[in-house]
């Protein structure tokens, strides 16, 4: 996994956590769900990168 990919995945995860927190604070379930979705995407990308690295 390249350093750029790690940074991008971490940024997406952090942004997702922020969206989730703001959504929960405002009572906006759609925004909170979007934040959780962003976190899941970042986790899946990270897992995919680890699998690619394992086959190198």
What's residue 1's pLDDT? 59
Residue entry with tokens 């962003």:
38
For every one of its 56 residues, what pLDDT tens digit does the chain have, with 9 covering 90 and above? Answer: 578 888 999 999 999 999 999 999 999 999 999 999 999 999 999 998 888 888 87
The DSSP secondary structure of 11-55, one letter per residue, reads HHHHHHHHHHHHHHHHT-HHHHHHHHHHHHHHHHHHHHHHHHHHT
* Angle subtended at Cα 15 by Cα 3 and Cα 29, rounded to the nearest 5 degrees: 150
d(Cα 47, Cα 39) in Å, to the nearest integer?
A: 12
């Amino acid at each position: 996994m390249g350093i750029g990919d790690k940074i991008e995945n971490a940024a997406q995860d952090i942004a997702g956590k922020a969206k989730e927190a703001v959504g929960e604070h405002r009572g906006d379930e759609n925004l909170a769900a979007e934040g959780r979705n962003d976190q899941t995407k970042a986790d899946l990308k990270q897992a995919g990168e680890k699998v690619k690295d394992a086959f190198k």
